[in-house]
Amino acid sequence: MNRKIFNFFVLAITILLVNLLTTFIADYLMKYRGQTDFLKFTAIGMGVIVLVFYPAFEYMNGIVEKFTTKFLKKGNNLFGRTIGIYITFLVMLFILYCVYAHIWFNVNVIKVIFIRIFS
């Protein structure tokens, strides 16, 4: 049971990280969209994203799994294996949440939380 949960958490974090990577690549490519025909640019952009997405997914999946395993080993002493998996996932998910909120809305989530708590 724990292995299935762990695999799901690793997959979810990996998908979010790779999506961030492809978003950065797409944003970078969009800076050059006026330099060629839009049909060529679209084909080139799609090709670049596909060429980057699969290797990045495989690479990020390995990194996320190694990082999560190391993080879990440290958390096992404090919270136990099952709770450690959930806490690790929630911490990583919160970090990604902060990054996405900053990219999409230019919002500092931690600052907003502190303002709402202490206001």
Residue 77, pLDDT above cutoff 70: no
- Whether the full predicted model's pTM is greater than 0.75, yes or no, is no
pLDDT, tens digit, 9 for 90 and up, residues 32-46:
888 878 788 888 888
Which domain, by its residues, includes 112?
2-118
Please report the pLDDT score of residue 19 as a whole number. Answer: 84
Helix (H) or strand (E) run with residue 18 in it: helix 2-30
Average pLDDT, the chain: 81
Give the count of domains, the chain: 1
CB contact set of 19 (below 8 Å; sequence gap of 6+)? none
pLDDT, tens digit, 9 for 90 and up, residues 47-61:
887 887 778 777 777
Please report the pLDDT score of residue 10 as a whole number. Answer: 79
